[in-house]
């Protein structure tokens, strides 16, 4: 019997094959955030400003000028009186040993991983990738090896350690996960990000290195990501875009945050006057890439006209991202940067609320900070199905990363949330906090 294929049949078969190909291709590229957990230390690790200064004066050899500087920075940093220090730093006398730093890190990362496994029900044998993110805490064997041993993860698990990349490293890791999940089908990835305040205390009197002591606090987050089609119904968010930018070729950007020793041999992170310059330059570069991806057509057109007219006398136009972004979560690096971002991007006080309250309640926990912001919005019951979320983080290098998420479902007020017991107390009024004057920073290199 002769098989006859007519043109309509051939067209139908070809169209079906093309649609199946693209459906399969697009399905592979979808990356979901199943859930995440943020670490909340025990209440006995809370510290207020005065206690912090008093302990610094008793246990470390700071001079009078250094103590006055730290007091001013704490007063104007945007941090409240319930942020967390490590157990080692609260001991009498202070314990800054390697063992104390290890205890701080393991309490945080084991706490968030245990909670995440409980929330998601994922089995350890189903985790095919593990990415750990730390800025200045680097041990041998690596933190990823510590986690593999603790949870008896698979012998063929793909592990990665991201270090030395500052407060933006958590979003760098998400870009890595996105690419890995495009290649490896039906996989889950665990991302764990934290830092050690114990290991990074600066013990000298160089003013440029004291700021880090004042603003960094204990925190950690664990994320479970997946490309399994079956997870679309149980996940919270879908990863839409990751955008990376850096200005390391610029001397002022490169030198504004730098780990080095002072003249007495004390290691610390130098932060100088060029920080705000570097932050805004790199953020603008990043935003110029994000804008065409997320803005509605009307805003894209106005933005394009503005770019073409930059050398003319046409008034500069800042696109209104609030028209396409429902939730904005910038890194809590400091009040001046948050103020500038709000003014330039058109976000309301409510849209900036999660960032300001995270800075006030939790402090700067490096690359995990932006997840306490998302947890805040969830605890307030603000995340609805279809909402667009924008996380933007920046740090040494100078680097800036953005991640755009879409809420797959409305998020109920999660019982396993670091804000659950006190969300009714927020927001608090932080409008009267003074901006840090430039003369408190040291000159650039």
Query: Which residues in the chain show pLDDT less than 70?
Result: 1-28, 303, 307, 309-317, 435-445
Tally of structural domains, the chain: 1
CA distances from 68 to 7, 105, 217, 312, 438 (A): 84, 30, 20, 48, 16
Per-residue model confidence (pLDDT) at position 9: 54
- The secondary structure of residue 410, as a DSSP letter, is P
The verdict on residue 109 lying in a domain is: yes
* Nearest Cα to Cα of residue 218 among 237, 201, 240: 201
Q: What is the pLDDT of residue 338?
A: 87
Residue 48 in domain:
yes
The per-residue pLDDT for 381 is 94
Do the domain assignments include residue 247? yes
At 146, which CATH number? 3.40.47.10
pLDDT of residue 285: 94
Query: By C-alpha distance, which of 240, 288, 235, 169 is closest to 404?
Result: 240
In a domain, 25, yes or no: no
- 269-315 residue pLDDT tens: 999 889 889 998 999 999 999 999 999 888 877 767 776 765 555 45
15 domain-assigned: no
Per the structure, the complete domain to which residue 202 belongs is given by 30-445
**Looking at residue 437, what is its pLDDT?**
59
**DSSP result, 117-140:** HHHH---GGGEEEEEEEESS---S
Q: Exposure of 422 by Cβ count < 10 A (0-12 exposed, 13-18 middle, 19+ buried)?
A: exposed
Strands (E), 118-228: 127-134, 158-163, 188-194, 220-226
Give φ, ψ of 47 to 5 degrees. -145, 135
Flag whether 181 is in a domain. yes
Residue 14 lies in a domain: no
The predicted structure's pLDDT at residue 316: 58
Residue 7 resides in a domain: no
**Separation CA 41–CA 36 (nearest Å):** 16
């Amino acid at each position: 019997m002769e098989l006859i294929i007519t043109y309509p049949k051939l067209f139908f078969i070809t169209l079906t094959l093309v649609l199946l190909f693209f459906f399969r291709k697009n399905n592979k590229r979808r990356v979901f955030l199943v859930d995440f957990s943020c670490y909340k230390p025990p209440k006995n690790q809370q510290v207020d400003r005065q206690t912090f200064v008093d302990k610094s004066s008793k246990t470390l050899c700071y001079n009078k000028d250094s103590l006055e500087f730290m007091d001013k920075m704490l007063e104007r940093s945007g941090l409240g009186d319930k942020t967390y220090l490590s157990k080692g730093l609260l001991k009498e006398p202070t314990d800054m040993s390697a063992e104390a730093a290890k205890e701080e890190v393991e309490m945080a990362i084991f706490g968030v991983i245990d909670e995440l496994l409980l929330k998601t029900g994922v089995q350890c044998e189903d985790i095919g990738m593990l990415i750990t993110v730390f800025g200045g805490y680097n041990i041998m064997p690596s933190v990823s090896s510590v986690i593999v041993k603790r949870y008896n993860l698979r012998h063929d698990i793909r592990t990665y350690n991201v270090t030395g990349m500052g407060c933006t490293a958590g979003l760098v890791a998400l870009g890595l996960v996105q690419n890995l999940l495009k290649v490896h089908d039906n996989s889950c990835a665990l991302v764990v990000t934290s830092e050690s305040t114990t290991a990074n205390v600066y013990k000298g009197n160089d003013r440029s290195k004291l700021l880090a002591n004042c603003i960094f606090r204990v925190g950690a987050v664990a994320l479970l990501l997946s490309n399994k089609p079956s997870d679309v119904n149980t996940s919270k968010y879908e990863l839409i875009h990751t955008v990376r930018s850096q200005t390391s070729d610029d001397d002022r950007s490169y030198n504004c945050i730098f780990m080095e020793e002072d003249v007495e041999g004390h290691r610390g992170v130098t932060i100088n006057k060029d920080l705000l310059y570097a932050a805004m330059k790199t953020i603008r570069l990043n935003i110029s890439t994000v804008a065409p991806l997320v803005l509605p057509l009307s805003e894209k057109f106005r933005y394009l006209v503005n770019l073409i007219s930059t050398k003319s006398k046409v008034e500069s136009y800042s696109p209104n991202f609030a028209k396409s972004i429902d939730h904005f979560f910038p890194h809590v690096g400091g009040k001046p940067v948050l103020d500038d971002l709000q003014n330039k991007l058109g976000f309301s006080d409510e849209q900036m609320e999660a960032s300001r309250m995270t800075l006030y309640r939790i402090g700067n926990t490096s690359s995990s900070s932006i997840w306490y912001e998302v947890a805040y919005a969830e605890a307030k019951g603000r995340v609805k199905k279809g909402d667009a979320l924008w996380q933007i983080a920046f740090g040494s290098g100078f680097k800036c990363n953005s991640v755009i998420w879409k809420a797959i479902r409305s998020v109920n007020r999660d019982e396993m949330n670091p804000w659950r017991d006190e969300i009714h107390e927020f927001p608090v009024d932080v409008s009267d906090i003074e901006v840090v004057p430039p003369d408190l920073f040291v000159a650039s290199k």
